[in-house]
Structure 1
Amino acid sequence: MADQISGIKIPDSKIAREAAELVRQHESEMLFNHSVRVFVFGAMRGLRQNVKFDSELLYVAALFHDLGLVDAYHTQTKRFELDGADAARDFLRSHGIPEPQADLVWEAIALHTTPGIPQFMRPEIALTNAGVLVDVVGIGYDDYTPEQREQVIAAFPRGDFKNEFVKVQTCSALKKPQTTFGTVNFDYIEYHDPSFHKPNACTRIHSTPWKS
């Protein structure tokens, strides 16, 4: 991998290298490249905003944030974000990282698809979310110069990212649709099958055993 991209140094500690190796064992090239781009874009934003953040923790959060989409870390009852968050926290604990830092990475991954909240939380959480948003849905695209975007893509190519990413997310969502209700992950099911309808919150409220 490139050591530095547009002023952003890819962490090269023992933990960083082992995290990248673990994730690379399980993720496709598309997901792995996306994960590193999330780190680079998030770190760029942090530097631009003069925000102090832990580069290594941000890197681990970015690497693991989609690990819950792969079979080895998939569970039937949790949102894919939580599967990845659990894997990251277990990894950090196994390397002797203190609980507060491990929990911080867990939160960054668990909340990375949650709209309207991560940007007001600690920098590692906010920057993970920001990196995801720009790389997946283009939010903040123009905050980066064409040269910055080109350097990131040259180092970690997108390939057929849009189609492949939607496919991977859809496969995960269809395996456990009950975990997608109330989240953006339901969009993948609805896009795949417009006739599928999630439970309506109002209907659920009126259907409770309470008398009023």
Structure 2
Amino acid sequence: MKKTIAGVDIPDGVMAQAATDLIRGTESELMFHHALRAFLFAALTGYRENLTFDAQLLYVGAMFHNVGLNAKYERSPYRFEVDGANAARDFLRRHGVAEREIEEVWVGIALHTTPGIPEHLSALVALISAGVQMDVRGARYDEFTAHQRDEIVQAYPRESGFKKKLIEAYAHGMEHRPETTFGTVNADVLDRWDPNYRRLNFCGLVLGSDWPN
């Protein structure tokens, strides 16, 4: 039986169910519920703005957007968003999804922490970011009804201390690769988390480059 929350049907096809099983088995309940809420807020945004999008691809994008924070990638040199995007790409290829659609999901995951860009790309890319940003920092919070927010949180709770626990999860997923936070909101996470972290400064990189002038 299809599950509907806040007027949004949770995708339940073979691929969506495989994504659900994979993420539920590899992420904490806190992060799993975060991914589900991100999908629901993303879909509601799409409905409200009359956007055309593939709900199953949006679901996979939401499910995989934080995969790169997992312990599996503790030695990765890449941005966690890229690790998650690559994992989603591999998953989608196993399920025979067209490369054009795979690329769209990849971009959506890779850019979900980069403000000011996703909303100018495809609906799917924009919605992955919008759903995540709503659940993480309450972006466009008042554009959702209290009933929608309450129904989503009742189905997939924000556990006590969610805000601080989420920041901690981000920090643990990036503390071994601090240089990858340059140019994104991720630098703010390590700046708050690690007293020894020193963020890169673009002006410093320009002025300190090997160019003579």
Residue pair 2:2, 2:12 contacting (<8 A) in 1 also:
no
Residue 172 of structure 2 is aligned to residue 186 of structure 1: no
Residue pair 2:74, 2:176 contacting (<8 A) in 1 also:
no
TM-score by length of 1: 0.96
Residue pair 1:173, 1:186 contacting (<8 A) in 2 also:
no
Residue 143 of structure 2 is aligned to residue 143 of structure 1: yes
Structure 2 distance, partners of 1:82, 1:138, is 24
1:175 alignment partner in structure 2: 176
Q: What residue ranges of structure 1 are gaps of 5+ in the alignment? A: none
Q: Which moved more, 1:146-155 or 1:171-180?
A: 171-180
Q: Secondary structure at the match of 1:175?
A: coil
Structure 1 distance, partners of 2:15, 2:83, is 20
2:107 alignment partner in structure 1: 107
Deviations 1:12-41 (Å, cap 9, x if unpaired)?
110000011111111000000000100000
Alignment of 1:1-212 (within 5 A): 3-160=3-160, 161-194=162-195, 196-212=197-213
- Count of residue pairs the alignment pairs up: 212
Deviations 1:52-101 (Å, cap 9, x if unpaired)?
11000000000000011111244421000011000000000011111011
Residue pair 2:75, 2:176 contacting (<8 A) in 1 also:
no
Structure 1 distance, partners of 2:142, 2:155, is 19
Q: Secondary structure at the match of 1:102?
A: helix
Cα shift at 1:199:
2.5
| CA 207–114 in structure 1, closer or farther in 2 if over 3 Å, else same | same
- Identity among equivalent positions (%) equals 44
Residue pair 1:74, 1:83 contacting (<8 A) in 2 also:
no
Q: Secondary structure at the match of 1:96?
A: coil
Regions of 4+ moved over 4 Å: none
Structure 2 distance, partners of 1:104, 1:45, is 18
Please tell me the root mean square deviation across aligned C-alpha atoms, in Å: 1.5
Deviations 1:80-135 (Å, cap 9, x if unpaired)?
00110000000000111110111111011001111001011111111111111110
Amino acid at match of 1:122: S
Residue pair 2:43, 2:127 contacting (<8 A) in 1 also:
yes
Structure 2 distance, partners of 1:168, 1:134, is 18
